[in-house]
């Protein structure tokens, strides 16, 4: 193969692969987030360490027929175990990052029911659901490791919510990623 043919072959390969190697738009960023701390614990949801599921009760569409209505509030417990005992209390924030978050900061429904979302909240303050808008989600206070303790729990809640009312029947599905942040 002559030098000109080799250069031509290289030019063809470069021309074909160059578009694939071009930089994408602004959506090509990977964000990494972590924390270094003196405290580490195992985290559970309702006692389950992996892939927990919180089952909400079945509710009637009539319960979600008006704008701003909610129904089916269901508590779930975030727990930490195997923590290192500290001489003073350690506040722990539970960080929730939603998948399919709607414009109101609620978990969008990926099931078949219409006009229904899921809200996360602290059951001691039910009038203020967590807003999951933003890449960092919502860091909920409440969980605290008492001085000398190696485990702790705190109850949160989830409920159906209809911003517009007129919910239609079907399944309601949503998911959230979670982590704990020691303060």
Q: What pLDDT score does 76 carry?
A: 97
CATH number for the domain formed by residue range(s) 39-182: 2.60.40.1090
Q: Which of 19, 29, 115, 110 is nearest to 65 (CA)?
A: 115
**Quick one: how many helices (H) and strands (E) in the chain?**
1, 8
The Cα diameter of the chain in Å comes to 80
pLDDT values of the chain reduced to their tens digit, one per residue, 183 residues: 554 444 444 444 444 444 544 555 556 666 666 767 666 789 999 999 988 999 999 999 999 999 999 999 999 999 999 999 889 999 999 999 999 999 999 999 999 999 999 999 999 999 999 999 998 999 999 999 999 999 999 999 999 999 999 999 999 999 999 999 887
So where are the chain's domains?
39-182
Sheet holding 152-162, edge to edge: 42-45, 69-81, 152-162, 117-121, 107-108
3-state SS, one letter per residue, for 75-111: EEEEEEECCCCCCCCEEEEEEEEEECECCCCCEECCC
Q: What pLDDT score does 105 carry?
A: 97
Phi, psi dihedral angles at 170 (to 5 degrees) = 155, -175
Q: What pLDDT score does 2 carry?
A: 53
Q: What pLDDT score does 50 carry?
A: 87
Q: What pLDDT score does 57 carry?
A: 98
Q: What pLDDT score does 35 carry?
A: 67
pTM of the predicted protein model: 0.79
């Amino acid at each position: 193969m002559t030098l000109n043919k080799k250069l031509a072959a290289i030019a063809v390969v470069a021309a074909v692969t160059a578009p694939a190697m071009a930089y994408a738009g602004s959506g090509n960023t990977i964000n990494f987030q972590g924390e270094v701390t003196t405290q580490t614990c195992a985290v559970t949801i309702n006692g389950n360490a992996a892939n927990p599921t919180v089952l909400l009760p079945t509710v009637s569409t009539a319960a979600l027929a008006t704008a701003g209505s909610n129904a089916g509030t269901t508590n779930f417990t975030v727990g930490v175990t195997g923590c290192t005992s500290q001489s003073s209390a350690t506040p722990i924030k539970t960080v929730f990052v939603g998948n399919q978050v709607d414009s109101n900061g609620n978990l969008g429904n990926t099931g078949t029911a219409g006009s229904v979302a899921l809200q996360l909240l602290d059951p001691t303050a039910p009038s203020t659901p967590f807003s999951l808008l933003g890449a960092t989600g919502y860091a909920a206070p409440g969980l605290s490791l008492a001085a000398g303790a190696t485990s702790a729990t705190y109850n949160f809640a989830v409920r159906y919510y209809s911003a517009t009312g007129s919910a239609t029947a079907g399944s309601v599905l949503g998911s959230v990623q979670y982590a704990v942040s020691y303060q």
